[in-house]
Amino acid sequence: MQSTVNLWPLIGVAVIIIGFLLRFNPMLIVAAAAVITAIAAHFPPDKILAAIGSGFIKTRNIPLIILLPLAVIGLLERHGLRERAQAWIASIKAATAGRLLIVYLLVRELTAAVGLTGLGGHPQMVRPLIAPMAEGATETRFGKLTDAVRYKLRAFSAATDNVGLFFGEDIFVAFGAIVLMVTFLREAGITVEPMHVAVWGIPTAICAFLIHGFRLYLLDRKLERELRGNAAKPTGANINNNTTGKPATTGDEA
């Protein structure tokens, strides 16, 4: 007879969602979700502390692994990596921010699908390369950009990396989330193979690519309307001043 599954530990997921919606500190959100999940699973206090301590000991070298590439990226940026990326994309006349990000989305999903999740990322790829290239392509077509447009392009660049990684890595059979799902289902009495879970991640990844790719296409259309429209509007100085910089006179005044 199949035993009843305790679903109360899933309350930790709700804590994470609410915490991010309220913009609390991510570290506090994750720590609170872990403690609440353990309490819901009827873990004794000493076992909760032991699990937290064990996790800290196992992952204490991760910050060093993350910080080392940041130093290299900082040196590259100091020596003109962002400027070179902008100059290179500006030389491609057909390049737009949307087209560039669609290509990056495809590459990010395909590389994540084969387990190469470290080839992209916000600090090592989006900030020094993808976002400056998107800004450079837009600036080449429309001229100097406002801060609002720059922030929008950076947000879309970061979102593209997130979408490509999140849905691409679900196809990789050795990905930790797939192993977690298979283990959870097995404990619930449902036996599935990791390969089946990975295969059924392919339609989701394709849909994610199509949906976000369409959003990037709409981004190009929106930038075209906004920036072309702003460039076509006459400024107040052009209306009120002539070429000498003095107020224009009418026939009656003459």
Q: pLDDT digits over 181-204, tens only? A: 888 788 878 888 888 888 888 999
Dihedral angle, C-alpha 108, 171, 55, 25, nearest 10 °: 50
Query: Each residue of 65-102: b (16+ CB within 10 Å) or e?
Result: eeeeeeeebeeebeeebbeebbeebeeeeebbbbbbbb
Q: Where are the domains of the chain?
A: 7-57, 67-232
Does residue 168 contact residue 109 with C-beta atoms inside 8 Å?
yes
Q: What is the pLDDT of residue 216?
A: 95
Beta-carbon count within 10 A of 152 CB: 19
Q: Which CB contacts under 8 angstroms, 24+ apart, belong to 115-120? A: 115/169, 115/172, 115/174, 115/175, 117/165, 117/169, 120/161, 120/164, 120/165
pLDDT in tens, 127-143: 888 999 999 899 888 88
The CA–CA distances, whole Å, from 169 to 104, 174, 241 equal 15, 9, 59
Res. 221: pLDDT tops 90: yes
Helix (H) or strand (E) segment spanning residue 101: helix 97-113
Rounded to two decimals, the pTM is: 0.67
Q: How far apart are CA 203 and CA 198, in angstroms?
A: 10
- Average pLDDT over the chain reads 81
Lowest mean pLDDT among 15-19, 60-64, 241-245: 241-245
